[in-house]
Chains A and B, each alone.
Chain A
Amino acid sequence: MTAQSPKQAKSKNALVSVKHLTRDFDVSPPWLNRVLEGKKKAILQAVSDVSFEVAKNSVYALVGESGSGKSTIGKIVVGLLRPTSGTVEVGGVDLTHETDKTRIEETRVGIQMIFQDPYASLNPRWKVKDIIEEPVAARGRDVTGLAEKLLEQVGLSAADISKFPHEFSGGQRQRICIARALAAEPKLIVCDEPTSALDVSVQAQVLNLMSDLREEFGLTYLFISHDLTIVQHMADTIGVLYLGRLIEEAPRNELFDNPRHPYTQMLLEAAPKLDGFGREVEPPKGEIPDPINPPSGCAYHPRCPIAVERCKNERPEMKQRDKARVACFLAK
């Protein structure tokens, strides 16, 4: 847990450092179809050359529409998927290239995940006590009183330990998921749409709980969401993804007050506003293109209102602009 070698971490404040992360999925038709019907191999690049850092004890949010690769990045960070290329460093340990197994294991224990659907992510045949204690018991640690303590920390009753998941409501189940994630005493929690399955009033409870726990345990969150309103509330830094590419990254207020990338601007403009009575939005053009055949150059150029010739031919790199990093030739 203390394996932190400052010499490896680029900026000393970063807990997670993702560099040039790429993940390809082979979505080719079956071999026989390729031979008989002459179909080609097809590669879907879900994540394409993404680099970012998450500062210690902060909330970094990845936002994007469906197919933008946000969940894939989350899964790679926790180790559920392997990257095709690029590196993921957590606490100074390069999880993609490190060969020392104990070091990897120590780091991995410190990374936990909360999933979107609290109905699908709890084993229906296990009691709450077993669900929460399992990650600790699996490492041969002492689990006496652990489940009771954690349940109370997430706002449930210690008397609930012998209940089954179906006896709880959606919000309570998500609390159980959080308790399970906390059991391993993590440093980093990857939250993949943690409140999308919940109602507004329950969502507020869960988000508040997550904020409280972050302060209490000094947690770092990698927060994956499509909901800009939640991100605006929770995140310190926000990375916007489009078609597997990181196109803008900025501190929260900077992003919402001064979005630089045309896609971010469109996203903020299109999101419904609570005071937008009778607001007429010019609906955005087009839809997310086919990720198997992404557009050349900047992936957003076919929908971009300000695209120029260069955008079609050349992929823009992330460039520092004031407080933000933007991948756009024309961004100021």
Chain B
Amino acid sequence: MAKTVKKPVLSVKNLSVEIPTRQGILTPVDQLSFDIEQGKILGVVGESGAGKSMTGNAVIGLLDPPAHISGGEIRLKGKRIDNLEREALRKVRGKEIGMVFQDPLTSLNPLLPIGEQLTETILEHLPVNKNEAQERAIAALEEVGIPAAAQRINSYPHEFSGGMRQRVVIALALCAEPSLVIADEPTTALDVSVQAQIIALLKRLCRERGTAIMLITHDMGVIAETADEVAVMYAGRLAELGPVRNVLTSPTHPYTQGLMASTPLAAKGKKRLSQIPGAMPRLTDLPFGCAFHPRCPIAKDKCRSDPAPTIEAGGGKAACWYVNGEKS
């Protein structure tokens, strides 16, 4: 264990996902690379169709066929996990990687008391007996802030409110003490005040247990308050990656710049929001070259013919020909 501490918990290199369809092969994730260190939160942002959730699902091995990983590698604590057999992957998933989905109601079994769902997971992944598992389940529920956990352990999911349900899902994701948690839009279905509670909870768990978190969201405000690093995705490709402060306050990629400017938060006092023309392209007709060029204010001929390289910029990386100003 001592050796692996310095290595990133999760390391993704040149990950590509393909979906063969009648219209040809679609690539919802294309040559994506990023690392997450122990106790850090990586925010993955992008609009719908950017490939955020697809990336999360690829990491945890939950791609729905015919989607499959077509290239690159995923390493968890130095071990490759993208080419594991089904059974071996199942052990890693749950034990090493916990998952929190957007809708807490659909990620819990409505017919089982929450305690049973927790103990089932604990017994599967940890060497404990039934009584110990029960105790651990109660402790997990207490840790995520469910009041009177010992009494509520026999309640069914529908007996909890939305925020409490999401806490149960987080307890479920954490009960086998994973080193990585993938949280896919964990607060999107929740109200502002409950969202603040869940975010505070995730941050606390990350700090206290040293869990690495991959936080997938479209909400820039949530990213700003939670993440250490942020990866901005556009049409399946990495647009920009860097420390959260740099990316949000002085973005280098034109897409990130446009995205930041178009949030109402950024338009303090201005009458009109600045807008990015057009919409995210469909995967079936991705533009040639850089996928962002039809909407990009600084696009030149080169952008229309060649995909942009990912280069060092602004303390992080950005995939743009003209990131560091006019040169080429």
Contact = CB atoms under 8 A, between A and B. Distances in A.
A138 interface: no
A6 interface: no
Interface in B167-222: 191-197, 199-201, 203, 218-222
A284 B272 contact: no
A274 B197 contact: no
A218 interface: no
Contacts of B195: 270, 272
Nearest to B201: A283
B267 interface: yes
A272 B222 contact: yes
B224 A200 contact: no
A275 B224 contact: yes
B315 to A, nearest CB: 14
A272 B221 contact: yes
A322 interface: no
A172 B276 CA distance: 14
Interface in A287-312: 287-288
Given A283-B197, A283-B200, A201 B259 contact: yes
Interface residues of B, number: 45
Contacts, number: 123
Given A204-B274, A275-B224, A229 B197 contact: no
B197 to A, nearest CB: 4
A291 B275 CA distance: 39
B193 A169 contact: no
Contact of A267 (B192, B197, B280): B192
B86 to A, nearest CB: 35
A77 B314 CA distance: 51
A266 interface: yes
Interface stretch (B93-101, B108-116, B242-250, B299-307): B242-250
B193 A287 contact: yes
A270 B263 contact: no
A230 B267 CA distance: 10
Contact of A270 (B192, B220, B245, B266): B192
A171 B49 CA distance: 14
B268 to A, nearest CB: 8
B47 interface: yes
A207 interface: yes
B225 interface: yes
12 contacts: A171-B279, A172-B279, A204-B276, A226-B192, A229-B265, A230-B264, A272-B195, A273-B221, A273-B224, A276-B224, A276-B225, A287-B164
Interface of B: 47-48, 161, 163-164, 191-197, 199-201, 203, 218-222, 224-225, 244-245, 248-249, 258-260, 262-267, 271-277, 279-280
Given A272-B224, A274-B263, A280-B203, 14 more contacts: A169-B279, A172-B279, A202-B279, A204-B263, A204-B264, A205-B275, A227-B264, A229-B265, A232-B264, A272-B225, A274-B224, A275-B224, A277-B245, A281-B225
